[in-house]
Amino acid sequence: MEETNNFSGVERRRNSAVKVNQREAGEVAVFQELGKALTSSLQLDQVLRTIMEKIDEFLRPDTWSLLLVDEAKQELHFELAVGKGAQALKDIRIKMGQGIAGWVAQHGEKVIVPDVSKDTRFFSKVDEKTMMETQSIVAIPVRFRDRCLGVIELINCMGPDGFQGRDLALLEALADFAAIALENARHVQRIHELTITDDCTSLYNARHLNFILETEIYRSQRYDYEFSLVFIDLDHFKKVNDTFGHLMGSKLLAEVGEKIKTHCRLIDFAFRYGGDEFVLLLPQTSKESAIVVARRLHRLIRESTWLQAENLNIRVTPSVGVASYPADSRTKAELLHLADEAMYVVKNSTRDGVAVTNVGLLPVP
């Protein structure tokens, strides 16, 4: 009998060891997979999807979510949510410090709550929205260096023995991978922005104009749309540089660019084409509508007072040209040339006016 008990004990220990080894092998595979995802792809979705799958596989929560910090609004929003009530979480925003996730984001510390009814930080309105009953929460900050980028939150994942130290270590490691993926994605986004924007004005640059113009021609051909280009050149801009210096000239360009941008529709594109030239691409806009826009911008620029913060109070006038697709041309190069040529009609005659391809110089209203 004693031999049988000894044998059973040995067998239990052997089975336990096998389970531990299997768990360790599984965790190693997880980290290998995540490392491969991080080094082979800069796609944030791919890395986060892998993390999502592994949290679900190893920890089995009712619901788990990744909340990201919106630093400008000092809020958290649900970037990913999986499990019961996940769909209802998409529109919820949580203030920094609010609820357990908000507390974790604000303090950058992990929190394990076996019973939320005993924790005053618990934010019950999320349960009301999702129609769930939260019993326990594990929340881990997603940190990169000294910044909290977000929070991974697991709902109802604790067993009878609580949340095991090994599970916590795995979750913290997954949070580190998520932080690296998020920071990589931000760097890629910033690099992309730098390649398509103009340093001086923060408008799109000429390189991006060529790309957007090709895209708009394709779209307009396919759906039988019109669109228009408006070229703007500042008159006598060289005098500003010569009189006040290139730094003030750059500030003037930045102010004009910002003014143009704020008077665009959401679907419009504003570019600094080069020097003191700006271009507006107006999707789904006929020549007649583009003329209205061109006149309005012409009046806006000539009637504004610039560099007021520097006490210079400069006034400038623009020469403006308009060309439209398909009325004037169906090719990118020709359309750019025609809009530029219309602008030079003004530049080489009266300045301070608007000219339209195949129409000519417009009378001053």
pLDDT in tens, 178-208: 888 888 877 777 787 788 999 899 999 999 9
Tell me: pLDDT of 39 over 50. no
pLDDT in tens, 58-76: 778 888 889 999 999 999 9
Domain boundaries along the sequence of the chain: 17-194, 206-361
pLDDT, mean over the chain: 86
The yes or no reply on domain 206-361 and CATH 3.30.70.270 is: yes
Tell me: pLDDT of 313 over 80. yes
Going by pLDDT thresholds of 50, 70 and 90, the confidence category of residue 31 is low
Report, as an integer, the average pLDDT of 146-168: 84
CATH match for 17-194 among 3.30.450.40, 2.40.160.10, 3.40.50.360, 3.40.50.720: 3.30.450.40
Going by pLDDT thresholds of 50, 70 and 90, the confidence category of residue 335 is very high
pTM over 0.85: no
Between CA 21 and CA 279 the distance in angstroms is 64
